[in-house]
Amino acid sequence: MRPEIWGIDLVDVFFRGTHALMAAAWLLFDFLVYWLHFDVKNPEIPLERRLERARIMHGIDQVVGVIFLVMLPSGIILAYVTNTALFTTEWLNWKHLLFAVIIIDALYLIPISGTALRNLNAIRDGAGNVDELNHQIRHNMNRAMPAVFLIWVLVFGLSVLSLLNLKNPQDQEYFFRQTAAEQQSVLQD
Amino acid sequence: MWMVWLLWLTVVVGGIFMGSGYAMALLDSGFDLVLALNAIVYLGCSAYGMPRLYALIFKRSA
């Protein structure tokens, strides 16, 4: 017996909510990082401002990283809570495959991330090869862009897959799903 | 540093769990492209992460 308030299964709603909020936060923070990167890679902007942006970007990137890594265990728990077979549910298999592509994408991005902050710190400390360091920042960030865009598309795809296939909690309805009673009446008409 | 640990632990442990789960589902239900791709990719990610996690453990304890 799970705890309930007004017929709402709290465990179910908690894990669904956490998983959905994590996906939303992932995209939101990723957009913030994308917005910040324009200033970081621009050598025309004062160094102190670039460094400040790079530090913020690095911090947000760490949050994104944690969300990304916790997404898999939270999804596994959610499947358990909602009685969804983990390896034999067709839509979930597709979702796992898209997530696996994101993992590969992230493994590609890891060596690139962190270069900006390191190079900007070197420039502040008086490195001689400023142009080369700036070029490396710009080059690496531009190289990362297709992988970043791919992650956005895949996260969006994962969200749509979930919305179209998730199970209704018992006795609860969502606006985008027909309930069994409505489906029955449509069939009878 | 904790992020690096979290990353490689998740990639290796998650990869083994998901990959072996899909491999077993493949054995149980016969060939299916999505199951096979999942098994290959997750086990591949796990294999990729293993030397990094190994280096992390032994470099830290050395």
Q: How many beta carbons lie within 10 A of that of residue B19, not counting itself?
A: 21
The predicted model gives A172-180 an average pLDDT of: 51
Find the closest chain B residue to A97 by CA distance. Answer: B38
User: Under an 8 A CB cutoff, do A93 and B38 touch?
Assistant: yes
> What does the H/E/C string look like for chain A?
CCCEECCEEHHHHHHHHHHHHHHHHHHHHHHHHHHHHHHHCCCCCCHHHHHHHHHHHHHHHHHHHHHHHHHHHHHHHHHHHCCCCCCCCHHHHHHHHHHHHHHHHHHHHCCCCCHHHHHHHHHHCCCCCHHHHHHHHHHHHHHHHHHHHHHHHHHHHHHHHHHHHCCCCCCCCCCCCCCHHHHHHHHHC
CB-CB neighbors (< 8 A) of A96 in chain B: 18, 22, 38, 42
B residues 1-40 lying closer than 8 A (beta carbon) to A: 3, 6-7, 10-11, 14, 17-18, 21-22, 24-25, 29, 34-35, 37-38
B45 touches A: beta carbon within 8 Å: yes
For chain A, the average pLDDT equals 85
Quote the ipTM score.
0.88
pLDDT digits (tens, 9 = 90+) for A55-92: 999 889 889 989 999 999 999 998 888 888 889 888 99
**pTM for this predicted structure:** 0.83
pLDDT digits (tens, 9 = 90+) for B24-55: 999 998 889 999 999 999 999 999 999 999 99
CB-CB neighbors (< 8 A) of B7 in chain A: 65, 69, 110
The label of the residue with tokens 């728990």 reads A77
Confidence of residue A176 (pLDDT cuts 50, 70, 90): very low
The predicted model gives A170-184 an average pLDDT of: 54
A66 touches B: beta carbon within 8 Å: yes
pLDDT digits (tens, 9 = 90+) for A39-65: 998 889 999 999 999 999 988 988 998
- Which tokens hold the place of B29? 């239900």
